[in-house]
Structure formats: C-alpha cells, structure tokens
Amino acid sequence: MVCKWTPIIVADRCTGCGLCVDACGPKSLAMVDGIAVLTLPDTCGSEEHCIAACRDEAIQMAWLPLSGDGTVGRWSDGAEPRPVPCSDAAQDGNGSSAQ
C-alpha cells in the first residue's frame, strides 16, 4: 500500500483562524464551514508548514493511503519506518479527523 505524509485536521480543535491555510504554499488547505480541510491532497508537499502555523494544535501528520504524483510530497511504500501506520490513520476522506 502506498501512503502519503499528509496533514489531518482535528475538527474539534480547529478554531477556523485560517493561519494554516495562509501558510500552505501550494494552497492544499481551504476553509470549509469554518474548519480547515485538506481539499487538494495531490498538491500537498508534506512540508508541515500548516502545523507550525496552527496555534491550536489542530493539525497532525499521518501516513494516509493515497494515489497521485509521487514526486509531490513524501510517500512511503511500506519500506521505510512510519510513525503512524497508514492503516491506522483515522480520517473521513477529506483529510479531516473522523472524531
């Protein structure tokens, strides 16, 4: 299984300030109903700028099973150690936490 190092937004912690959206160079994040959402996972460079900008600690990175351009962002085919197994990363399909 191929996984991408991807931000997950914990909706319960997101205050909708938009700092993460502003910090995202490729504009992979957008505000949807007052919550940050990873709307364009294919463009995410896995650089974690959004985490540094988030003052509410509402963003975590996880290995998520995705397909796309393997030259954009960090990818794993299972050969390298993963801090969060991609099969354990809970998300609702748009990069938001399923909590």
As a CATH number, domain 3-88 is 3.30.70.20
Tell me the two tokens of residue 26: 């490729």
Distance separating alpha carbons of residues 42 and 9, to the nearest angstrom: 16
Residue 1 pLDDT more than 60? yes
Distance separating alpha carbons of residues 75 and 82, to the nearest angstrom: 10
Tell me if the pTM is above 0.85: no
Q: What is the pLDDT of residues 10-63, one digit of tens each?
A: 999 999 999 999 999 999 999 999 999 999 999 999 999 999 999 999 999 999
The full set of domain ranges for the chain reads 3-88
Residue 78 pLDDT more than 80? no
